[in-house]
Amino acid sequence: NAGVMQNPRHLVRRRGQEARLRCSPMKGHSHVYWYRQLPEEGLKFMVYLQKENIIDESGMPKERFSAEFPKEGPSILRIQQVVRGDSAAYFCASSPVVGYTEAFFGQGTRLTVV
């Protein structure tokens, strides 16, 4: 059973471009969580999704950021018109049930905005 797969591992974007980060949960997992890790900081919650539904997006910036988890395919975190402050590591976790007792994290996507 493959783990949580995130791609790309590294992404470089120029200011104003769009960044699309992908997360394929573990097989059988229908709950996906996205976190952002800024340099020298811990991970901060962004959004929690189930298949085709956003359950909690209280940690998402109000503008430029969106997330989806379609019925088929990976979860996507989309950042429009990136700015330097978006440079961070973005981690995805998945679990088979709500809550974190069985959650697994991916290796993250490191976004650099130049």
Partner 1 sequence: AQSVTQLGSHVSVSEGALVLLRCNYSSSVPPYLFWYVQYPNQGLQLLLKYTTGATLVKGINGFEAEFKKSETSFHLTKPSAHMSDAAEYFCAVSDTGNQFYFGTGTSLTVIP
In the complex, the smallest distance separating the C-beta of residue 81 from partner 1, rounded to whole angstroms, is 27
CA 42 to chain centre: 15
Q: Please report whether residue 91 would count as binding partner 1 according to CB under 8 A.
A: yes
In the complex, the smallest distance separating the C-beta of residue 10 from partner 1, rounded to whole angstroms, is 9
In the complex, the smallest distance separating the C-beta of residue 108 from partner 1, rounded to whole angstroms, is 5
* Residue 69 phi, psi (nearest 5): -145, 85
Judging by beta carbons within 10 Å of its beta carbon (0-12, 13-18, 19+), is residue 72 exposed, middle or buried? exposed
Binders of partner 1 in range 11-70 (CB under 8 A)? 33, 35, 40-45, 48, 55-56, 59
Kind and range of the H or E element at 95?
Answer: strand 88-95
* Residue 99 phi, psi (nearest 5): 100, 170
Using CB under 8 A, list all residues that contact partner 1. Answer: 6, 33, 35, 40-45, 48, 55-56, 59, 91, 93, 98-101, 103-108, 110
